Amino acid sequence: MSNHRLRCVGCLLTPAPFRWWIFGRMKQPEVSRCYVRAMGLTLLLQLLLAGFVVVFAALTATIYLPSTDRLLRASNQILPVVGVGLVAGWLVVWSIAVVLAALGSARTIPVVARLGATPRRRRFAAVIAAMGGLVGLVIFGIALHSTTLARELDGRPARVYVLYDRHAVNLGETPRWVLTLASYRISRAARQRWGTGNVVVDRVSPASLRQAFRYGEVVILATHGRSGEVHYDNGKVFTAKQLGTRVLCGPRLKLVYFTACGGGYALDDWRRGLRPARVISFARNTSTSEHAWWFWSGAPRMIRQLK
């Protein structure tokens, strides 16, 4: 393979910010053509991701409208497929570009060539990619640190329990690090108040529910639900009637937060069973973004203010 072809393939494999700095300066026609193609591909991916985010936000907003349960169930099934399809389609176009570069072909991919046609668009794609990379590195670092602040259920008592269903996030199976990341500021506030080892992030189960309500001071249930019930683990149900029988509440319990949609329909029953703890629940549909904001802002403040 000639040097020009190797450079063209390398251009497509190089991250956009470095590509813009290295290959944008080269004057060889073959390399310049591949550079335009590569930056067009980067901008295409960014536009696809932006479009997906807009659609996701629009569908999320409909959660607050009446009679949208059927639409929400359909969107929860369709959105992951659409997301995977968009990325897979982009990878096919990228693979075609790599083959063309390896063959030294001058053929263009129309949409990609149009997107990468001007220096301003190429510079914009490089800047957005650089910003996205920096944000990704920061999130990666925080996610790693968050796993060291919160432990799994191991029988030892803790002050704060964040219990989640494996489908707590609507886009599929929820890995534990997503919840430790969401609970990052909760974990830091708990460590400042009670020291290390006082936050448990684990799945909802009969055992974790019993331990959380018996020993916890703050219990957060990140699950789905309906009509005052908490749903978890593909059909299992936790209700206020189980308090005092299957689940005993300890004397330290002060704050309980439910993410379950419609959990507030049985708010009086939950308050009665969890007295004197403060209970936060909602007699309506709620979105993941709404709870994420509470995790990041409201919960740490409440932990600091507990008496």
* CATH code (residue 188): 3.40.50.1460
Residue 258 has φ and ψ, to the nearest 5°, of -110, 130
| Domain-located, residue 176 | yes
Quote the tokens at residue 78.
């369709």
* Domain enclosing residue 171, as ranges: 150-305
| Domain-located, residue 58 | yes
| Domain-located, residue 162 | yes
Q: Are 155 and 295 within one domain? A: yes
Q: Are 118 and 187 within one domain? A: no
Range with the largest mean pLDDT of 5-9, 75-79, 256-260, 263-267: 256-260
**Cβ within 8 Å of residue 179, ≥6 positions away:** 162, 164, 168, 201, 222
Q: Are 164 and 113 within one domain? A: no
Residue that terminates a domain, selected from 105, 135, 165:
135
Q: Are 192 and 91 within one domain? A: no
pLDDT tens for 205-250 read 989 998 999 999 999 999 988 888 888 887 788 888 888 777 788 8
Task: Return the amino acid letter for 157.
Answer: P
Q: How many domains is the chain partitioned into structurally?
A: 2
Q: What is the 3-state secondary structure (H, E, C) of 72-120?
A: HHHHHHHHHHHHHHHHHHHHHHHHHHHHHHHHCCCCCCHHHHHHCCCHH
Dump the DSSP string for 27-55.
Answer: --HHHHHHHHHHHHHHHHHHHHHHHHHHH
Q: Say yes or no to pLDDT of 256 above 90.
A: yes
Q: Are 115 and 157 within one domain? A: no
Cβ neighbours, 10 Å, residue 77: 10
Q: Are 157 and 192 within one domain? A: yes
Q: Are 38 and 122 within one domain? A: yes
Q: Say yes or no to pLDDT of 69 above 70.
A: no
Quote the pTM value: 0.83
Cβ distance 156 to 211 under 8 Å?
A: no
Cβ distance 225 to 263 under 8 Å?
A: yes
| Domain-located, residue 298 | yes
Q: Are 121 and 190 within one domain? A: no
| Domain-located, residue 275 | yes
Q: Which helix (H) or strand (E) holds 176?
A: helix 176-182
Strands across the sheet containing 224-226: 224-226, 229-232, 236-238
How confident is residue 169, by pLDDT bands cut at 50, 70 and 90? low
Residue that terminates a domain, selected from 76, 102, 135:
135
Residue that terminates a domain, selected from 135, 169, 194:
135
